[in-house]
Structures are given as structure tokens and as C-alpha cells.
Amino acid sequence: MERVLLIKYGELSTKKGNRNFFIKTLYDNLLDKLKDYNVRIKKDRAHMYIEFNDNELDDIKRVVDKTFGIHMYHIAYVLKNDVEELKKELLEVVKSKKFSTFKVVTKRSNKNFPIHSQDFNHVIGGLILKNIDNISVDVHNPELEIKIEIRENNTYLYLDSYQGSGGYPVGTQPRGMLMLSGGIDSPVAGYLAMKRGIVLDCVYFEAMPHTSIEARNKVISLARKLSSYCKVINLHIVNFTPIQEAIYKNCREDYCITIMRRMMYRIMDKLCNSHKAFAIVNGESIGQVASQTLTSMRVINSVTNMPVIRPCACLDKLEIMDIARKIDTYETSILPFEDCCTVFVPKHPVINPRLDTAIEEENKFDYEKMIEEVEINTIKVFEKEDSFSDLL
Ligand code: ATP
Ligand code: MG
């Protein structure tokens, strides 16, 4: 019996004018991720159908699970719109399942089909009760829900339903630039931003030789994990060493972190402009550290007019960690390689910095020139282990 993976769209079904664009984006995303498999994808206004080979189903499900814009999906049997044949095939499928209570739910969008939905529920219910022993109907809490959708050309029968990952398809929003450190929060922020449809580029500030090649590789692996939710990720690696050293040489120690972050934001602003990105995204969480108090955020944020999206802003660390585990970035994030922020931590960073003091301190060196000349290398990171373009 032929089966398809039947996809029901997520929130995009509420986007009236943009509907076709949303569906087309989801379709393109699935097509790209499934290009190595033997599939055919069809779409209409309410559903998408993936025809697959049985031996590839598990892999295909893994891809679908990571594709945003899907509310639910089902493994559905494709049956003919013929009452007698439907009864026969349906019984065969249901017989292969173990259950003691069940319920039949029919939807009939094909009004030419001779039996009304409610009546068809009874026909099928009766048929099952007659042919399978020791079972009963339970309309409130059935072990097996038998869903039948009678459409124009075919009837779809499904017993297995799966929750999709929700959100909007990646690409329904323009590009955003994620500040990706090796920590726990920023990959989670990237995941949540992509879930809203944002195309993500990542930016990593490194300070070699104070930070190690292992720290960079860790960020590349995190970017790779994130790339399983989209087609590819451009990872921009910023050589932050000269600026960071200048800050620590010239500025007041307690303001070093504030100023370092103002420099990062300035470089982010520059990267957004040169790569047509519409927002900075980062893993800041209100109150987590000195640089993430509201006072600090205001002083740091004032160097850019770009919107700064902070998906973790209002989450507790434990909530962020739960998402990190779910998206499988946690174990990589906790590897102990030092990042440029942890190498240069002052003993007592200012918690409530003043904007005038920050400006006064950073004006002690020619940061504008340094930002203009900052060295940035970009690599493309794909989900598949061996396929990223090497640095340099
Ligand atoms: P995370 O917050 O991801 O666990 P972290 O705790 O090392 O990492 P914080 O000091 O909390 O980072 O910094 C807040 C945010 O600033 C990070 O979530 C990240 O978005 C950004 N950030 C910090 N350091 C870097 C870096 N070296 N490169 C890129 N972005 C960074
Ligand atoms: Mg953090």
C-alpha cells in the first residue's frame, strides 16, 4: 500500500496574503534538505505530501523534524475513493496495530463521496468491531485514533501523528547576524531566531593566541549543529585580538567588558550592513552577568541602530539549558575552551556603567581605524561533517 508523509502547515496558515510565499519557502527548504533521498514532494494550500521509499523513512523524518513551519505530520496510507476498496484496505492496516480502544474520525472535503463523515465513522467503526476481537470504542481517550480524510482524488488514512517543530520556514524573514560564542546561550538564541524564519549568519570574535584553535573548532561545530535547521550557515570569524589588546592596554579595567562589547556591536553593525542583514541576534539574558543588566545593555546597545534580537532575554539559565539539550548543542557548549570574553575578565566589571565614562575611556585609542581594518574570514558551514569550506 502506498504511503506518504502528510504535512500540515504551522502558523503560516494564518498568513493570508503571504501564504503562497510561506508554502513555497517550506517546499524549497524540504527539497534542499531531501535532495539526497528518493522523494517527490507535492503541495497544495493546506498540505504537503512527501512520497518516499520505505527504507529512507527514518532519515526523512529526521529532516522533517528539523524543518520549521510544520505544525503536524502523519504517515498516511493513500487509498482509492471507493467505499468497498476503502473498507478492505483500511481493515488490513488497522489489523496490523495492537490496541484495545479506538475512535474513527472522518473528514470529507470531497462532497461527491457518497457517505457523510459521521455515517462513515459508524460504517468503519462497525467494520472494525466486527472483525477484530476484544476491542471497544472510546471517543474521549482512545488508544488508537483512526483518521480518514476523503479528498478529491484519494483518501488518506493515518494512525501515526507527529508534532512538527512549529515556527515559520527559514527564509520567510531576511538575514540576521548571530553573535555565536562557544557558550550555551548563543546557539539557543540562533535556534529560536531561525524558528521565526530568520536566515542566520554567525559571527565569532576570537582573540588568538589568547584563545585556542579548539575554541574556534567548537564554534564551528555549534554552527554546524545550527545548520541542520537551514541550508547553510556563513560563519564570519573576526580577529578581535588587536582591538581587545588595545582595550586592555588603554581603558579603565572595570569598563573593559562594556567597551569590548561596544566594539563587538560596532563590528556587528558593520557586518549587518555589508551582508544585508536586518538584525543582530545574541544570547544575552537579562541580569545574567554584569554586561547584561539593563543599564549595561543600554550603554552597549547605543552604538547601533540595528534591532538587537535577544531570544534568551527573559529565559532562566535552566530553561535555556533545556533547549540546548533538545537541540543537541549543550554537550558541545560545555567543552572547556576559553573564549575571548573569559580570557580577559576584569575582577570587578562595572554593573551599572555610565555612557559618558564608556565614551571617554574608548576614546583613549583610535578604535574607528581598528574597526575599519578588522580582519574577518568567512567560511560556509553545512550540516554534513566534511563539507565546510576550510578557513584560508
Ligand atoms: P553564552 O551566553 O552563549 O553561553 P557566554 O556566556 O560566553 O556564552 P556571554 O558573556 O553571556 O557569553 O555573552 C553574551 C552574548 O554575547 C553571547 O550569548 C553571544 O551572543 C555574545 N558573545 C559573547 N562572546 C562572544 C564571542 N566571542 N563571539 C561572538 N559572540 C559572543
Ligand atoms: Mg551567556
Residue spans per domain, the chain: 3-164, 170-382
- Can you give the length of the chain in residues? 392
Question: What's residue 341's pLDDT?
Answer: 61
183 CB near ligand 1 (under 6 Å): yes
Cell numbers given for 182: 562557544
- In whole angstroms, what is the distance from residue 178 CA to residue 167 CA? 18
pLDDT tens string, the chain, 392 residues long: the values are 899 999 998 776 566 778 899 999 999 999 999 999 999 999 988 899 999 999 999 999 999 999 999 999 999 999 999 999 999 999 999 999 999 999 999 999 999 999 999 999 999 999 999 999 999 999 999 999 999 999 998 999 999 899 999 999 999 999 999 999 999 999 999 999 999 999 999 999 999 999 999 999 999 999 999 999 999 999 999 999 999 999 999 999 999 999 999 999 999 999 999 999 999 999 999 988 888 999 999 999 999 999 999 999 999 999 999 999 999 999 999 998 777 666 677 788 999 999 999 999 999 999 999 999 999 999 999 998 655 555 43
201 CB near ligand 1 (under 6 Å): no
Kindly report the protein residue whose alpha carbon is nearest to atom 7 of ligand 1.
183
339 CB near ligand 1 (under 6 Å): yes
CATH of 3-164, one of 3.90.950.20, 3.30.2130.30, 3.30.70.270, 3.30.420.10: 3.30.2130.30
Centre of ligand 2 to C-alpha 182, Å, is 10
Residue 338's nearest CA partner among 216, 189, 253, 244 is 216
- In whole angstroms, what is the distance from residue 314 CA to residue 50 CA? 38
Centre of ligand 1 to C-alpha 187, Å, is 10
Centre of ligand 2 to C-alpha 184, Å, is 7
Kindly report the protein residue whose alpha carbon is nearest to atom 4 of ligand 1.
183
Cell numbers given for 392: 584560508
Centre of ligand 2 to C-alpha 175, Å, is 23
341 CB near ligand 1 (under 6 Å): yes
Quote the distance between the C-alpha of residue 114 and its chain's center. 44
180 CB near ligand 1 (under 6 Å): yes
pLDDT digits (tens, 9 = 90+) for 284-298: 999 888 889 999 999
Ligand nearest to the CA of 188: 1
262 close to 301: Cβ distance less than 8 angstroms? no
Residue 358 is classified by DSSP as H
Kindly report the protein residue whose alpha carbon is nearest to atom 30 of ligand 1.
179
185 CB near ligand 1 (under 6 Å): yes
Q: Which residues of 348-365 are buried (b: 16+ CB within 10 A; e: fewer)?
A: ebbeebeeebbeebbeeb
Alpha helices in 251-316 (DSSP H): 256-274, 294-301
198 CB near ligand 1 (under 6 Å): no
Indicate the fold that domain 170-382 takes in CATH. Answer: Rossmann fold (3.40.50)
Residue with cell 530553561: 319
